[in-house]
Amino acid sequence: MDHGAPLLAAHDGRRQPAHHNQHQPGDDPEDPRLLVDPQRLDEWIGLHGNDETERRKEQPQGDQASPDPIRRSGDPQQDDPQDDLDDGPQSSGGYPGHLGRLPRQGSSQAEASEGDAAQNDEDEASQTRHDLTRRPGPTVDDPIRGHMLMGFVLEFHFSPFSRAGSEIPTLRSPETRSPHVACHTCPVPPVVTTSSLTHDYGVVVALDEVSVEVPNGVTGLVGANGAGKTTLFRILLGLIQPTSGDVTVLGHDVHSDPLSVRGRVGYMPEDDCLPGEQTAADFVAYTAELAGLPSGEARRRSSETLYLVGLEEERFRYLGDFSTGMRQRVKLAQAIVHDPMLVLLDEPASGLDPQGRDQMLDLIRRLDGFGINVIVSSHVLTDIERTAQWVILLDGGNLVRSGPLGGGGDLQSIVVDVVDHAAAVAERLSSSGLRVTVEGTRLLVEGASGDLEGDITEAVAATGAGLIRLVRGSLSLEDEFLAHSTP
Amino acid sequence: MVGALAVSETGVITEHTIRLTEVSKWFGQKVAVSDVTVGFGPGVTGLLGPNGAGKTTLMRLITGLQRPSGGRVEVLGRDPRRDVDLYRRLILVPEDESVYAHLSAHQFVLLNARLMRTADPEAATARAIATVDLGDAAHRRLGEFSKGMRQRAKVAACLVSDPMVLILDEPLNGADPVQRAALINLFVKLGEEGRTVVVSSHVLAEVARMSSRIVAMVDGRLAAVGTVSELRAAMTDRPRQVRIETDRARELAGELMRLDGVAGIRLRQDTLDIEASDALGLARALPRIARDTGIRLRRVEPTDESLESVFRYLVGSR
Amino acid sequence: MTDNVVFDRGYRRYEGPRRGLAGARAAVVRDGLRRVLGLRRKVRRKIMPWSLLAVALLMAAIFVGLHFFASQLPVDMASNLPRYGELFDFFSWIGILFIALAGPTLLIPDRTQGVLSVYFSRPLTVGAYLQGKLIAFVGVTALIYLGPLLALHLGLAFLSPDGFLGYLGANLDVLWKIPVVSLGYLALHGGLITAISAVVNRTGAAAAVFLGILTAGGSIASRIGLIEAPGVRYATLAALDQHPRAVRDWVFGIDGVTYPVEQVGFSPWLSVATIAVVAVAGLWWVHWRYRRLA
């Protein structure tokens, strides 16, 4: 068995988010430490399916040279401690939430020094007791975690809707996004690929030669005119055959094999779609059974996912009695109950009041943390800005843009709010060649300086003004959308 | 605490187009609106609140569709229930979809124009349709419209009688981003023309853009009245939150903790979340400290000024 | 080894078996059965089906009782009591009501509640979905047709002077006649209600249309058919309710009412054919209506 081909643990489409940023030196395809060898992907998928346990059993005992598990590639010291600190909810919401994230800070350093003698049997043992080894976090195969889990483990349990929540920053500039930057140069297969996808309903053209690659992570889908996005979702699920063009979802061609696509995709429709006469638990369990889960498992997972989305004893009430917010949560629960690799969310926050909206967006970010890829479609651009890392803009069936959030704008300007002395600050800055516009206590600074922020801080400190806001701005999603869309 | 906020403004009577005085409404046991005293004047006022807070009932009380169980409602000085003429001046755009699907948009607006006995129905219809930018689709049937376009048709139907007062319940529901932006601009323009526009919506970012004034309701009662900055300023029992992104976060945190005005710092990767009891002091100290230590500030942003955070506070406090 | 561990109860992956289309179909069957019988649903939903079942079983018990008392009498009254064939008609009305309830309940709410968009987002084909519904339908109506009649049969066996097994032995033909005739009823009524439920969108309306076609439609068709005109006699075939009964009479050898089909001289095989046509047409129709869904 050739172990020369390391495989991203999430070869089945899930990603290890942290690794996108971790390019090994050189990125030499022959380098055995390369995180993913795309040519071997198919091979691995064919050989091992989705069963990670199986794959781990294949690893030779104590094979230090084996580059399989990502973290074992090279020295543990090379591991970027950064990677332990990010992941899902901690970086985006400010609280661990239902995931019960471990406090990875510091612990990995301690563990790292233990070396990575492959302790496969311990991993095995720990794995059966702790699903943590299968977390979509930094790595699934990390033997170090196996060690850690044998001992005393702290678990955080917070209400998913903690009011201590910090304000979710508007994702205007790339730096503030969680490190799940969709990396187009990373050799991770895109979740969805369409090529020249066209679909029309007679005269109305819903999609017109759309060729797009949807990366891992959370992708926002925005479009004027409802027909395009619903059509796209139905095409992705294999429910409609497009007029022309190809679509590949999670590596499967939708046209020839819609059923396997649907087995790994979840869908949250926009409209009312819940039967009033069943209880939430019963309904979600039924949808799990329809995805092929045996009854017992279906019931268990139904209970778990309903709990994860925040419904506790309401699970056993009839859906007819549910409020809008609860309904939306049930819809989300049924979309993830069968452990999909991709979920399609159609206006998930519609009808929700601001609090509910907050909570729903939070849940969506958490899906990202679970390692589930998401395509969210919404008309409310601020919602997209708060959840997505990649945005696809459709207008009248045409693809306007497909790119990272915030990537479409001009990053050369900075918004500065000061307490006072705005004019003095402005003067200082313009005297060093920057273009400054002043409006009251707000300055807009533009220029090609290498360190705009530094210059500004300097100027504010020198004038003794107080600094309230310093934000590198890009076009907001709405500005971009309006600029591109046909009036 | 919540009560203190509600006091923020009452204003002079003649400034208000709509005045509610100790208005309550109950349906059997359920109290939908409880002892609300508030006024609405020219410009756009955003009406906010969780689901079930009583916003829709309040709107129906204002337009005279319901009679208050207690208190008094006055619109333009008159009782909306008694004065039928007022219907010409007030329009409600209800959320529900009970629109005449078989009519075309043009017919629907024209029908409304005639019902309101406008002077020149055809001209008014044309104007209204042009204002909401439905021109091309005006002759298609409403049943074929998307939700966003139906909303626009309803707004056109409201505008056709040139009303002084517009009460709009979730008018952006279902509209796509372009339609939303257009409608927001429209409402702002109507407000600037001196009309009294009351809009309820759940998307706070949009409410903040449209409205100069906010009325927030929670559980049937008034939670707050005022502009966003006024409200924020009034919430004095809460320290301000500031988020700073920097390369040497821990070091900066250490420096900042020495300041009196800093109550707490949460450190996460490159980001500091600071609780400042003296936000101004922090603002002044920050650039100085950064310059002196050479720590580079990548981003500084107050995180609790938005309507979102004000709202969260309002809904959360009991 | 100390066991100081706290388990993490967050999101788990699912790596277990997935049963594919067959599993999905089985799930549809189970759900269909529960839906008709009102299981795992509000109490209100259980009233109709269970009371119909109860009535049917009660009637069976009563007939057994009647046979018992008749056998106690000195005079041989037992032969005057209705036997299986005649009772079929009686039970069939309960069956028809049950079918009028079951068919729409299986098909219509899924459509009107919008759940189909969720179901077909799963690896489920329209074919498997409809097959599952069909199996559930047959299962549940078999319950109401066969159940009481078999109970009756066993009751009579107990009471029989020839002893339990002796009676059964002597009446082996009943054991195939009952299911065959039941199938006739089931196929005709089932086909009809399925076709109706694929089109109508309210459960009550579907049931009403179904019952209407059976009763009023039947009598109208038979009257037309008796008009003396060439080819018109085929119109009698449209009196659908008579076909299962004609088959029953034929199978059980009863010589009772003369049905319009008999009056115009058709053989019972034509009734069988008509039943088959209705059943197949109903199934094809529903499949055709649903084809665009997935």
Out of B177, B283, B297, the one facing A457 most closely (by C-beta) is B297
Q: What are the pLDDT digits (tens) for A249-274?
A: 998 898 888 888 999 999 999 888 99
Are B306 and A419 in contact (CB < 8 Å)?
A: no
Predicted pLDDT at A2: 38
Distance CA B311, CA B314 (A): 5
pLDDT of residue A85: 37
CA distances from C35 to A163, B202, C38, C103, C149 (A): 41, 37, 5, 11, 24
* pLDDT of A22 higher than 60: no
Per-residue pLDDT tens listing for chain B (318 residues)? 222 222 234 433 346 888 999 999 998 888 899 999 999 999 999 998 888 788 889 988 888 888 899 999 988 888 877 766 655 556 666 655 555 777 888 888 888 888 777 788 888 888 888 888 887 788 888 777 777 788 888 888 888 888 888 888 888 887 888 888 888 988 998 888 888 999 998 888 888 888 888 999 888 888 889 887 777 777 666 778 899 999 899 999 999 999 988 999 999 888 899 999 888 889 999 999 999 999 999 889 888 767 777 787 777 754
A295 interaction partners in chain C (CB closer than 8 Å): 30
Rounded-to-integer distance, Cα C128 and Cα C68, Å: 47
**What's the confidence (pLDDT) of residue A38?**
43
> Residue B276: in which H helix or E strand, if any?
strand B271-276
Q: Model pTM?
A: 0.72
CA C13 to mean position of chain CA atoms: 42
A157 pLDDT band, cuts 50/70/90, is very low
Rounded Cα distance between A9 and A13, Å, is 9
- C194 class by beta-carbon count within 10 Å (0-12 exposed, 13-18 middle, 19+ buried): buried
Interface-testing mutation among A290, A304, A344, with chain C (most C C-beta atoms within 10 A): A290
Mean pLDDT of chain A: 67
Per-residue b or e along A96-126, where b marks 16 or more CB atoms closer than 10 Å to that residue's CB: bbbbbbbebeebbeebbeeebebbbeebeeb
Structure tokens at C34: 């529960």
Task: Please state, as a whole number, how many other Cβ atoms lie within 10 Å of the Cβ of residue B264.
Answer: 12
The closest of B161, B186, B8 to B91, measured between CA atoms, is: B161
Confidence of residue A475 (pLDDT cuts 50, 70, 90): low
> What pLDDT shows up at residue A168?
31
**pLDDT digits over C270-290, tens only?**
888 889 999 999 999 999 999
Token pair for residue C278? 């209705």
Range among A56-70, A83-97, A135-149, B295-309 rated most confident: B295-309
Decide which of B142 and C138 is more confident.
C138
Helix (H) or strand (E) holding B300, with range, is strand B297-302
Q: Say what the pLDDT of residue B206 is.
A: 86
pLDDT of A146 above 60: no
Judge whether A175 is closer than 8 Å to chain C, CB to CB: no
**pLDDT value at A123 more than 70:** no
Q: Are β-strands B165-169 and B196-200 bridged in parallel, bridged antiparallel, or unpaired?
A: parallel
Structure tokens, A193: 């690929």
A482: closest CA of chain B, how far (Å): 6
CB contact under 8 A, A175 and B298: yes
pLDDT digits (tens, 9 = 90+) for A70-93: 332 333 333 343 433 333 333 333
Contacts of B among chains (3+ CB pairs under 8 A): A
A104, A352, A379, A472, best to mutate vs chain B, most B CBs in 10 Å: A379
C123 and A259 in contact by Cβ < 8 A? yes
Higher pLDDT, residue A279 or C88: A279
Q: Chain C residue with minimal CA distance to A335?
A: C118
Secondary structure of residue C11 in the 3-state scheme: coil
3-state secondary structure of B50: coil
Residue among A6, A55, A10, A9 at smallest CA distance from A373: A10
Q: What is the dihedral of CA C180, C185, C186, C187, to 10 degrees?
A: 90
pLDDT band at C28 (very low <50, low <70, confident <90, very high): very high
Cα separation of B210 and A406, whole Å? 24
- Among left, alpha and beta (phi > 0; psi -120 to 50; other), residue B222 is beta
Q: What are the phi and psi torsion angles at B306 (to 5°)?
A: -75, 165
What's the whole-number mean pLDDT along residues C148-167?
Answer: 79
Condensed to tens digits (0 to 9), the pLDDT of residues A400-428 reads 888 887 654 455 678 888 888 888 999 99
Whole-angstrom distance, CA of residue A160 vs CA of residue A355: 13
From A82-86, A217-221, C218-222, the region with the lowest mean pLDDT: A82-86
| Amino acid A202: pLDDT | 79
Average pLDDT, chain C: 84
Looking at CA atoms only, how far is residue B117 from chain A in angstroms?
Answer: 33
Pairwise pLDDT comparison (C163 vs B302), residue with the higher score: B302
Test A167 with B268 for CB contact under 8 angstroms: no
Nearest to A353 among B51, B176, B245 (CB): B51
Identify the pLDDT of residue A406.
Answer: 65
Nearest C-alpha in C relative to A154: C6
Dist CA C168 CA C121 (whole Å): 51
Name residue, tokens 């201590």: A164
- Selecting from A352, A464, A470 the residue whose C-beta is nearest the C-beta of B202 gives A352
Residue in chain A lying closest to B53 (CA)? A353
Identify from A353, A359, A449, A451 which residue to disrupt to test chain B contact, counting B C-beta atoms within 10 A and taking the largest count.
A353
**Residue C12 contacts A, CB cutoff 8 Å:** yes
Compute the distance between CA of residue B48 and CA of residue B196 in angstroms, rounded to an integer: 16
Predicted pLDDT of residue C266: 77
- Find the closest chain A residue to C16 by CA distance: A293
Find the CB nearest C119 among A290, A292, A331.
A290
User: What band does A329 get if pLDDT is binned at 50, 70 and 90?
Assistant: very high
Q: For C186-234, give the secondary structure using H, E and C.
A: HHHHHHHHHHHHCCCCCHHHHHHHHHHHHHHHHHHHHHHHCCCCCCHHH
Coil vs helix vs strand at B92: strand
Residue of chain C with shortest Cα separation from A270: C117
Residues of B in contact with A323 (CB under 8 A): 51
Query: CA dist A472 to A174, A475, B13, C248, Å?
Result: 10, 10, 45, 85
Nearest CA in chain C to A291: C122
Size of interface A-B (CB pairs under 8 A): 155
Contact A279, A318 (CB under 8 A): yes
Q: Do B299 and A470 touch (CB under 8 A)?
A: yes
- Suggest the residue from C21, C122, C290 to mutate for an interface test with chain A (most A CBs closer than 10 A): C122
Q: Which residues of A touch C18 (CB under 8 A)?
A: 263, 291-293
Can you tell me the distance from the alpha carbon of A76 to that of A112, in angstroms, rounded to the nearest whole number?
A: 6
Q: Which one, of A246, A316, A251, lies nearest residue A285 by Cα?
A: A316
- In whole angstroms, what is the distance from residue A126 CA to residue C53 CA? 53
Question: Residue type for A388, please?
Answer: A
Contact state of B301 with A169 under an 8 Å Cβ cutoff: yes
Cβ C177 vs Cβ C251: under 8 Å: yes
Interchain proximity A100–C293, CB inside 8 Å = no
> Is residue A115 predicted with pLDDT exceeding 50?
no
> What's the pLDDT at A160?
35
| Subunit partners of chain C (3 or more CB pairs within 8 A) | A
Touching B: A residues 27-86, CB under 8 Å: 82, 85-86
- Is-contact A440 A393, C-beta < 8 A? no
**Does the pLDDT value for residue C227 go beyond 50?**
yes
Residues sharing a CB contact under 8 Å with residue C163, sequence separation 6 or more, in sequence order: none
Cβ–Cβ of A132/C8 closer than 8 Å? yes
Task: Give the whole-angstrom CA distance, residue A485 versus residue B281.
Answer: 45
Q: What is the pLDDT of residue A368?
A: 86
> Buried b vs exposed e over A182-197: b needs ≥16 C-beta within 10 Å?
bbeebebbbbbbbeeb
pLDDT at A472 over 60: yes
Report CA torsion sign: A315, A320, A323, A326: positive
CB contact under 8 A, C4 and A151: yes
SS (H, E, C) chain A: CCCCCCCCCCCCCCCCHHHHHCCCHHHCCCCCCCCCCHHHHHHHHHHHCCCHHHHHHHCCCCCCCCCCCHHHCCCHHHCCHHHHHCCHHHHHCCCCHHHCCCCCCCHHHHHHCCCCCCCHHHHHHHHHHCHHHHCCCCCCCCHHHHHHHHCCCCCCCCCCCCCCCCCCCCCCCHHHCCCCCCCCCCCCCCCEEEEEEEEEECCEEEEEEEEEEECCCEEEEEEECHHHHHHHHHHHCCCCCCCEEEEEECCEECCCCHHHHHHCEEEECCCCCCCCCCEHHHHHHHHHHHCCCCHHHHHHHHHHHHHHCCCCHHHHCEHHHCCHHHHHHHHHHHHHCCCCCEEEEECCCCCCCHHHHHHHHHHHHHHHHHCCEEEEECCCHHHHHHHCCEEEEEECCEEEEEEECCCCCCCCEEEEEECCCHHHHHHHHHHCCCEEEEECCEEEEECCCCCHHHHHHHHHHHHCCCEEEEEEECCCHHHHHHHHCCC
Smallest CA-to-CA distance from A375 within A362, A391, A386 is with: A391
Among A114-123, C64-73, C182-191, name the one with the lowest average pLDDT: A114-123
ipTM of the complex: 0.88
3-state secondary structure of B100: coil
Q: What confidence score (pLDDT) does residue C248 get?
A: 83
Q: Which chain A residue is nearest to residue B49, measuring alpha carbons?
A: A353
pLDDT at residue B236 in the model: 64
Amino acid at C52: L
Which pair of tokens denotes residue C139?
A: 């299962």
Q: Nearest CA of chain A to the CA of C22: how many Å?
A: 8
CA–CA distance, C185 with C149 (Å, rounded to integer): 14
Asked if C117 reaches chain A (Cβ–Cβ under 8 Å), the answer is yes
Report, as an integer, the average pLDDT of A444-462.
Answer: 84
Q: Do A286 and C31 touch (CB under 8 A)?
A: yes
The two beta strands, B30-40 and B18-27, are antiparallel
